[in-house]
């Protein structure tokens, strides 16, 4: 008996009977683009923050450099000016030790005294040109930031704590004390009126803040 023709639809091959693998669904290109965009935006935000911080640091550095440059120009002569003040002190001592009556009676002595006074004025004018200003504390309330009390003078006619004598003139350079004035302060009088409170807006204090005295030529150190 001849073999029956085999039905191509039926086979004993188990591999042939296995179902064909299903094709994977294609990835959504929109999701990939959205993920990449989110990553780029995050990196852009981070770089922008870094750039802004760098720009702020550079601006602070520029301002600090400008301030140090100005301080250097303003206070560079501190030590020199302090030494020059000694010359002014000697000129003042000469003027104070010449009796007025003697100068009036002696034309030569009078001419000499006038020359010393002229020299002192020119010296003070030169110092002021370079930012060095003489303090005038006589009759003012004692200020420990600008003056150094040497002793107290009993005096009931003036408010307590008033400067009644100046032994050595004080000077400022810029907004710093170059040399405090040596003064005598009254005691025993009525209490001095309290200092007025500084305004809340637009105030800079008394101009002699935490910088203190200009003790060296390095303005970066206070």
Look at residue 22 in the predicted model and tell me its pLDDT: 54
User: Tokens 């030569």 — which residue?
Assistant: 108
| Residues 51, 46: Cα–Cα separation, whole Å | 9
Q: How far apart are CA 170 and CA 152, in angstroms?
A: 18
Low-confidence ranges of the chain (pLDDT < 50): 1, 198, 201-211, 218-222
pLDDT given for residue 75 in this prediction: 83
- Backbone φ and ψ for 44, nearest 5 degrees, come out as -65, -40
Say what the pLDDT of residue 21 is: 53
126-148 pLDDT, tens digit per residue, is 999 999 999 999 999 999 999 99
> Residue 202: what pLDDT?
43
CA–CA gap between residue 190 and residue 221 (Å, rounded): 41
Q: Please measure the distance between the N-terminal and C-terminal CA atoms of the chain and give it in whole angstroms.
A: 122
| Residue range 132-192, CATH number | 2.30.22.10
Q: What is the pLDDT of residue 220?
A: 46
Q: pTM of the entire structure?
A: 0.59
């Amino acid at each position: 008996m001849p073999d029956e023709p085999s039905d191509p639809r039926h086979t004993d091959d188990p591999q042939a009977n296995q179902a064909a693998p299903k094709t994977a669904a294609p990835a959504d290109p929109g999701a990939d683009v959205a993920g990449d965009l989110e990553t780029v935006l995050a990196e852009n935000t981070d770089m922008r923050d870094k750039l802004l911080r760098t720009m702020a640091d550079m601006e602070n550095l520029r301002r600090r450099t400008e301030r140090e440059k100005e301080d250097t120009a303003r206070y560079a002569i501190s030590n020199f000016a302090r030494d020059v003040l000694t010359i002014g002190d000697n000129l003042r001592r000469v003027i104070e030790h010449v009796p007025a009556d003697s100068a009036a009676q002696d034309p030569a002595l009078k001419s000499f005294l006038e020359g010393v006074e002229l020299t002192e004025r020119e010296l003070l004018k030169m110092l002021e040109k370079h930012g060095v200003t003489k303090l005038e504390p006589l009759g003012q309330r004692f200020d420990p930031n600008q003056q150094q009390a040497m002793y107290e003078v009993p005096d009931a006619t003036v408010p307590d704590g008033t400067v009644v004598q100046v032994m050595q003139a004080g000077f400022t350079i810029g907004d710093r004390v170059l040399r405090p004035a040596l003064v005598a302060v009254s005691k025993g009088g009525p209490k001095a009126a309290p200092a007025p409170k500084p305004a809340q807006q637009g105030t800079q204090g008394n101009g002699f803040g935490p910088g203190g005295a200009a003790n060296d030529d390095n303005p970066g150190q206070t």
